[in-house]
Amino acid sequence: MGDLAQQTEATPVGDADGPGPRRFSALVHDDWEIWGPEGGYVAAIALRAAGAASPFVRPASFFCHYLSVANFAPVDLAVTPLRSGRTVLSQRVEMTQEGRPILEAMVWSVGEVAGLVHDDARPPDVLDPDQLPSREELWPDEAERFRFWNNFDQRPIDYYDQWPPTEPAAPEWRTWIRCRPQATFADPWIDAARTLIVLDVVSWPAGSRPHAHSEPPFIAPSLDLYAAFQHPAPSDEWLLLDGHSPVAGDGLMSWTGRIWTRDRHLMASGGGQAVFRHT
């Protein structure tokens, strides 16, 4: 079980006031393993580096390309400001490992900004987490395949007693999750890092469902990840993961995700493209 705040932390390297990009180091921990390090976890490290180099209180959006699969080892990060204003900052984050490109990201952060307000987000109609059995209660004799899931309590919504299912299912996946051992984080940048980690993970559970009955010999690692951060939720323990894969074809799988708080506020939304690989 990993410590999300500690294991996404980026440590400054060198002179913060010197010329050129701000530099950081971080360690990719194997507590977050799915087909290697889970993509959202690696992205969260880049987000934390951007936050450490930003004067503003919270991130507004994040976009990255996954360039290589990281090893469970130290990484280097360079954070370069691209545009700064009184209330906004754009940054580029480059992550490398022994000179090999791992990830390149773009991050917007914002200060205190006044503006118009509306909320037309429409959450799915699902039960609350305390009305649902835990994953351990549903499958007491089944161990997790990947260490990543040991970092969360989980309350599945759409689940099957038998896996794989006997017929195609809709390309959707919903579950409640709660981080452990610590569920919430007061720092808006760590709270957003929690969001990135769980947003990225909805892609394959949603996109594989129409095909799982035939046990196809594929996985679909993400090529990229986009996230817009809508409502910070530093005191909300339970998050609803709401994933959908509208299209798969020509070797690619598109996916979208929304993260809802328990009171059904939209915390973050995003998506990406994944590319199929033979297992």
Instruction: Indicate the average pLDDT of the chain.
Output: 95
Burial letters for 125-155: b for 16+ Cβ neighbours within 10 Å, e otherwise?
ebeebeebeebeeeeeeeeeeebbbebbbbb
Model pTM score: 0.96
Query: Is the pLDDT assigned to residue 140 strictly greater than 90?
Result: no
Beta bridge partners of 155: 176
Q: What is the tens place of the pLDDT at every residue in 213-229?
A: 999 999 999 999 999 99
Angle between helices 39-52 and 188-200 (to 10 degrees): 160
Residue 71 confidence (pLDDT) = 98
Q: What is the tens place of the pLDDT at every residue in 222-274?
A: 999 999 999 999 999 999 999 999 999 999 999 999 999 999 999 999 999 99
Q: What is the tens place of the pLDDT at every residue in 77-128?
A: 999 999 999 999 999 999 999 999 999 999 999 999 999 999 999 999 999 9
Q: Residue 213 contacts by C-beta under 8 Å, 6 or more apart in sequence?
A: 164, 165, 166, 167, 168, 169
Tokens 């161990």 appear where?
A: 143
